[in-house]
Structure formats: structure tokens, C-alpha cells
Chain A
Amino acid sequence: MTMATATATPRDGAAKRGAVPDRRAYLRHSLLQQLAALRWGVLALIIVGWFVYYPIIDNFFVSTTTQDIFTGEVDNVGLDNYRRLLDDPVVWRALGNNGLYAVFSVIFQVFAAFVLAAIIEGLKNRTWRNFWRAVYFIPSAISTTVTGLLFYFIYQPDIGLLDAFLHLIGLQNLSYTWLGDERTAIYAIIAMSQWQGFGYSTLLFTIAIQKIPRELYDAATIDGAGAIRQLFAITFPLTREMTGMMIIVTIAGAFQVFNEVMVMTGGGPNNSSQVLGTWLYEQGFNQNDMGYAAAIGVVIFVATLITGLMQLWYTKRRRVQV
């Protein structure tokens, strides 16, 4: 924002100092200039306003209606969809599953990824450091549809890769219908997500660790601090901001999860692995209940709004400190 004031051109300065009678003309001119500069903003305003903001606002209105898709008749039902929401056990289960997703993702994609990044950055050879973080990142570059389908095959009972492996090491009695059982489906999906996602945050953490001045570690070594001591006394405190940001971003992602659940179970069996996104899809596009789907959308909106505000607050606070 400070930049805005610094853009005064020499011409503006001359106008301000110079002719007082022209002040009004100057102001008009400058207002025209400001309005003309809007041409740099209209493209983004139109496309983002029209296709992002408008539908999200419209979603609130849709959520107070029921629509008959065959007759196209729209009835205003006020808050009925929201009352239904409170009484819908699947909504609560979906919320719980999103919460589970958040908990596991924070453990694996923030804390485990941090430890892994610290180990990688502790390697002496630069080529190996780049090698490992590139390897771990690969699944994050691949579409969730591909990884979801791949794990759908891996989790197949008896014939899938996981059960084949269990047979191989003599643990065939652990063999299981991972995606077909209400108790394990959501955990199997979450496990796939961690497999896919931890490399992404590992990569971000390695970069945060690289920014720490080497002298701190050299000094600590001279003082006789071991590797673990250095991890807790230097690496962790100095990447705390990144860690905080990653926790918020990861939680935000956990409440928007959709693809992998859709591909692997579609929310089943018996709705046990539904998350908010897939329940919205099921209601809106399979049951054709657009009003109720929109109400579920509002729940997702609130979740993303909370995490978004947390992120904003965190960034602001950080700026003030620095």
C-alpha cells in the first residue's frame, strides 16, 4: 500500500505546486486518470466477480429454496434446509470425517513432513538433498484421480497390492476389505491422502530450513549441542511461522477434500466415508436436491471462511512482528 503514494509523477508535483486556479481542473484530471486506470482492473473484476463471487452469493439464496428439477418450480422454504441439516446424521458424520482428515493431515503433512525435511536438510550432499525432496514430491504432482484409482486397486481385498504384501510377509490374517468396510473406509482414504501430500509440505519445509543462517548451527555445534538439541533449539523455533501457516492451510484443505473420496468410495459404504463435499454432490447431483446441496455448501463456506480469516490474521500478525 505504501507504494501507491510513491507513484506521484513529476507532472503531478508540478501541478500541485503551480497554478492554484487550476486546482479544480487538476483534481478533475486526476480523477479521470484514476478512473481510466480502472481498465487494468476490469478484466479480473468481471471474471472473478461473475464466476466466483456471484455463484457463491447466489448459493445462499438457493439454500433457502427447494427446486423441482423436472418442472423447474422453485419454492421458497426459508430455513427449512438448515433445519434438515441439523437433523441429518450424515452431515455430522461428514463433518467428523473432515475433522479426522484435518487431524491426520496435520500430523503427517505438517509434523512428520517437518521432521523429514529436517533430516533431508541434515544431509551433507546437495544432490541427495534435491533427490529426496523431488522423490517425495512426485505424488503431489499427480492428479488425485490417478492416485485415488491406484489406491483403489491397491486396497482391493486379497488381490490388491496391500493384501498381497501382507500375504508375502505372512500377515495374511490382517488382510481386509479396506474400502468396503464402514469402519476402515475413511481411514484408508486418509492414508492415501497422506501418501500423496506429505512430500509437498516436506518440500516447503526444506526451503524454510534453508533460510536459517548456517552460523547458528556452527555456533551450536561449537557449544556442544547435538543434532536433536539443534532441531529443537534452532530449526523448530526458526520455522515456526511456516509451521503455523502450514497448519492453517492444511486444515483448510481438509474441509474442502472431495476428489479422493469421490474416486475411491463415493462416500460409501453406507455413507461412512462421506465428507461435506461428496455429500453436497450426492444431494445436489444424484438426489437432485439443489436447495439442500446449497445449504451443505454454506457449511463448507463457513469452514473455509474461518480458516481464511485465521490465515489473514496470522499473516497480519507476522507482518507486525517483523
Chain B
Amino acid sequence: MSTIVTPMAHPPLRNPWVMLGKGFLMALLVSAGVLVLYPLIWMALGGFKSNSQIFSDPFALPNRWSFDNYVAAWNLGVRNFLFSSLLVTVVSTITTVFISAWTAYGLTRTKMFGKPVIVGFVLGGMMLSPTVALVPLVQMMQSLGLYNTHWALIILYTAFRVPFTTFLIRAYMLDLPRDLDEAAMIDGASEGQIFRKVMLPLCRSIIVSCIILHILFAWNEYLFAMIFTNQIDVQTLPVGLTSLMAKHGTNYAEVFAAMTISALPIVIIFFFTQRYFIRGLTEGIGK
């Protein structure tokens, strides 16, 4: 190829090596795709199979398509776990995004006392790992009477995600032009009004991204959920699944069904909100 250096307008001739290379790359993409999807499909199908068929006939389609295992898993506790997951996710998303937007406004639009220190303090929280805080948190949560409550998770998910979410919204607000909020200020709007009526609508797209990233985090969080909850009506899906496994581990088909139920909502959310999802991820690492 490289010997032909005539500046040509038409596409290069079909070289067999190039074709072969392209074929190889396509094969690579497809096999990686199969590698990713097959175990997940196996999981979802496993939920339809009978207990013995899962392992005796792993590659086959289910003998019959019945939702029995899904129903059984639902009644074994998945219903409770799903409710807890929903509650914790929804409430902690609201608190996290509200506190973060509120803080980001203060950090970008007001003359807050000691602002550089506060910026460093809040954003510095991003570097701190939940594992390190675990031992003291257990004693704290027990003395606050929050052990084995949804509040323990809501508070911790908020506290550990406010730094990152504030970081995203603050970066977005810093890039926004100030004309609008300054105009509102001259018109006599209070800071609270500017925050609600000017800034929040302007930040809608980053806020949607933050909401989705937080949902992803809260729905899947395991460490805190495992430590701070141990009853069926408080446990969220990730930790509920492991306790289901410990109790009914030999009933594979039902465990497979439970796994599928807990994975499905987040995969669906991802597909419908990809655009916002991706924006949040790239802002997070690219800034």
C-alpha cells in the first residue's frame, strides 16, 4: 500500500491483506461481543430452566418457557429487596443531586467565606474510599440507632457521592455564561430564586447525567448494604441476592431468576439514557 503515493481521490484498491485484516478485526469485535453477552443470556435463560437442566444441559434452550422460577424468586424475598433498592436509590438520588447542585451553586456563584478551602474539602472527599471508613462507621451507625435501617444507606450513599456529583455540576456551572444570572440579579432576584429559576434549568442536562450515575451507583452498591443491613425487609438487591444464595443456593434456577430480575432494570435504564450516561462518565474523567 505505502508504495503507491499518487495523491488519489478515489478510494484505495482492495488489497487482499487489507480485506483479511478487516475480516480479522470484525471477528474480534464479534467474538468479544459474544463473550460479553453469552453469560448474561445464559443467566436469563437459566431462570426459565429447571434446576437440573441448568447444569446438565447448559447450552440448550429451556424445555418449557414458564415464569415459575421468577415468581418463586420474587416471593422468596426479591420483592422486598427490590422495594428496598428502589427506596434507597430514589431517596439518595434526590438528596445527593439536590445537595450537590446547591453546593455547586454556592461554590461558583457566591462570594462564600473560605471558598477555596471548602472546594478542596468537598471535592477531596472523592479520593476517600468507603472501605477505610467502615470500622468507625459501624460504631457511629449503631450509636445513632441507624443500624439495619434504610436511612443508614441513604445517608452513606449521599455522603460518599456528594463530592463527585458536586464536582460534575460545579464544572458545568463554571462553564456556563454569567449573563443570565447577572441579569436576574440586576432585576432584583434573590440568590435562592436565581438558583431555582435560572441555574437549575440551565444545568438540566448535567443534572440528568448525575441522576443516572447515582442510580447506577446506588442500585449496585454492595459493601455498605452488606455491613449495615441484615434483615430481609431492609436489604437491597445486591446483598439480598447473596443471602438468597446462602439460604437457597441449591435452588439454582431461582437464584438465576433473582439475578436476572436485579440486573434488568439497570440495563434498561442504561439503554434508554445512554446519551446522558456517557456525558456524565466523560465529564467525570475528562475534566
**CB within 8 Å of B: which residues of A?**
1, 3-4, 6-7, 9-10, 30-31, 33-35, 37-41, 43-45, 47-56, 58-59, 62, 116, 119-120, 122, 130, 132, 134-139, 141-146, 149-151, 153-154, 156, 159-161, 164, 168, 195, 199-200, 203-204, 207-208, 222-227, 229, 242, 245-246, 249, 256, 258-259, 262-263, 276-277, 280-281, 284-285, 290, 293-294, 297-298, 300-301, 304-305, 308, 311, 315
Report the nearest A residue to B160, measured CB to CB. Answer: A52
Instruction: Give per-residue flags for B37-61: 1 if the beta carbon is below 8 A from chain A beta carbons, else 0.
Output: 1011011001000000011101100
User: How far, in whole Å, are A224 and B6 apart by their CA atoms in the complex?
Assistant: 9
User: How far, in whole Å, are A145 and B33 apart by their CA atoms in the complex?
Assistant: 22
How many residues does chain B have at the interface if contact means C-beta atoms less than 8 Å apart?
A: 102
Closest 10 CB pairs of A and B: A40-B106, A308-B127, A51-B159, A143-B220, A159-B55, A55-B133, A55-B136, A145-B238, A37-B110, A58-B136
Instruction: Give per-residue flags for B12-47: 1 if the beta carbon is below 8 A from chain A beta carbons, else 0.
Output: 000000000100010011001101110110110010
Known: A134-B271, A281-B134, A290-B135. 14 other contacts (CB 8 A): A3-B174, A48-B122, A56-B136, A143-B222, A149-B241, A150-B43, A200-B281, A207-B282, A224-B5, A256-B131, A284-B138, A285-B227, A298-B132, A308-B127
8 A-B residue pairs with Cβ-Cβ distance under 8 Å, sorted by A, are A37-B106, A40-B106, A47-B159, A53-B125, A55-B137, A135-B33, A204-B281, A284-B135
A4 touches B115 (CB 8 A): yes
Interface residue ranges of B92-117 to A (CB < 8 Å): 99-100, 102-103, 105-116
Residue B189 at the chain A interface, CB threshold 8 Å: no
B285 touches A242 (CB 8 A): yes
Chain A-chain B contacts (Cβ-Cβ < 8 Å), number:
280
A51 touches B155 (CB 8 A): yes
Residues on A with beta carbons closer than 8 Å to the beta carbon of B136: 54-56, 58-59, 62, 294
Known A34-B111, A45-B121, A258-B223; judge A195-B132 contact (CB<8 A).
no
User: How far, in whole Å, are A159 and B51 apart by their CA atoms in the complex?
Assistant: 12
A284 to chain B, nearest CB (A): 5
Q: Which of A41, A195, A280, A304 contacts B36 (CB 8 A)?
A: A195
Residue B148 at the chain A interface, CB threshold 8 Å: no
Q: Which of B54, B56, B156 contacts A51 (CB 8 A)?
A: B156
User: How far, in whole Å, are A155 and B1 apart by their CA atoms in the complex?
Assistant: 46
**CB within 8 Å of A: which residues of B?**
1-2, 4-5, 7, 21, 25, 28-29, 32-33, 35-37, 39-40, 42-43, 46, 54-56, 58-59, 99-100, 102-103, 105-116, 118, 121-122, 125-129, 131-138, 140, 155-156, 158-160, 162-163, 166, 174, 178, 182, 185-186, 191, 216, 219-220, 222-223, 226-227, 237-239, 241-242, 245, 252, 255-256, 259, 262-263, 266-267, 269-271, 274, 278, 281-282, 285-287
Report the nearest A residue to B155, measured CB to CB. Answer: A51
Residues on A with beta carbons closer than 8 Å to the beta carbon of B135: 55, 59, 62, 280, 284, 290, 293-294, 297
Residues on A with beta carbons closer than 8 Å to the beta carbon of B185: 9
Residues on B with beta carbons closer than 8 Å to the beta carbon of A39: 106
Known A141-B216, A258-B223; judge A50-B159 contact (CB<8 A).
yes
Which one of B21, B166, B271, B282 has the greatest number of beta carbons of chain A within 10 Å? B282
A203 touches B278 (CB 8 A): yes
